[in-house]
Amino acid sequence: MDSASHVPPSYGSAYSQLYAWTYDPTDGSWYAPTYGGRNSAGDASERNPISSSASQSPAARSHSAHKALEREIDYLHDDLDEQDERMDMQDERIQQQEFFYRSQLGKLRDELKRCANRMTSLESSLDAAKKEIKNHKSTLQQLAKNRRKNKDLERRRKKEAARVASEQGDTIRGLQAGEPHDIGSQERLNGHHEQTAPVVKTEPRDRTTDIEEGEVDEL
């Protein structure tokens, strides 16, 4: 086969430009490597062989080329259908993921609301606890004040009791020794509360004073 047969056939500008024709010297055919989505490693049946023999008429070559183009278009349609199916599956997965994430987002929002309500409740409880602690603190301060006051009163009572006991002891010792004693102390000792007329001590009158005052001395 001469070099002229190595020129790719011309079956319309669109078909010629669509494929990068490759010459196969083993069978003297031209084929498009991308035919049917297959590469040049395919066998002869997958290469869409187009004979360059002079015995093949132009009408036959044109018919063969058109058939090959129709098959290629069918393959392209099949590829597009497969791609559409894959895209539909991807869209479905995306929609499922979107639904899942929206559902999770709704749950998170509900949980956030519950947490906010719980926080508000805890803040109210904390305020109530603070008020209660303040009241308890005030009560404890008052109790401490009363305790100090009671201790002071107790000290005074003990001091007064000690003083009374000391006076009673002095009175008893004076009575035992035969010494004059205080009537009031004796009454406190005996538990009497009746008043006793005070003892009035009389002294001799000075007659000179009476004469000076104009009194007449009865003889």
Q: Tell me, what's the pLDDT at 197?
A: 47
In degrees rounded to 5, what are phi and psi of residue 207? -65, -30
3-state secondary structure 82-148: HHHHHHHHHHHHHHHHHHHHHHHHHHHHHHHHHHHHHHHHHHHHHHHHHHHHHHHHHHHHHHHHHHH
Please report where in the chains the tokens 């049946």 appear, as a residue: 45
Reported as a pLDDT band with limits 50, 70 and 90, residue 15 is very low
User: Is 106's pLDDT higher than 90?
Assistant: yes
- Reading the block at residue 189, the tokens are 């000792």
Q: Tell me, what's the pLDDT at 178?
A: 67
User: Is 40's pLDDT higher than 50?
Assistant: no
Dist CA 9 CA 205 (whole Å): 182
User: Is 16's pLDDT higher than 50?
Assistant: no
Q: Tell me, what's the pLDDT at 12?
A: 45
User: Is 34's pLDDT higher than 70?
Assistant: no
pLDDT in tens, 150-207: 999 999 999 998 888 888 877 777 777 765 545 454 554 455 444 444 444 555 555 5
Q: Tell me, what's the pLDDT at 128?
A: 94
Question: Are the C-beta atoms of 51 and 69 separated by less than 8 Å?
Answer: no
Task: Mean pLDDT check: name the lowest of 61-65, 74-78, 128-132.
Answer: 61-65
| Average pLDDT over every residue of 87-95 | 93
Dist CA 119 CA 121 (whole Å): 5
Question: Are the C-beta atoms of 5 and 52 separated by less than 8 Å?
Answer: yes
Helix (H, G, I), strand (E, B) or coil at 50: strand
Please report where in the chains the tokens 């006991």 appear, as a residue: 165
In degrees rounded to 5, what are phi and psi of residue 195? -80, 140
Taking the model in full, what pTM does it have? 0.34
What's the mean per-residue pLDDT of the chain?
71
Reported as a pLDDT band with limits 50, 70 and 90, residue 126 is very high
Dist CA 49 CA 191 (whole Å): 150
% the chain with pLDDT above 70: 55
User: Is 67's pLDDT higher than 70?
Assistant: yes
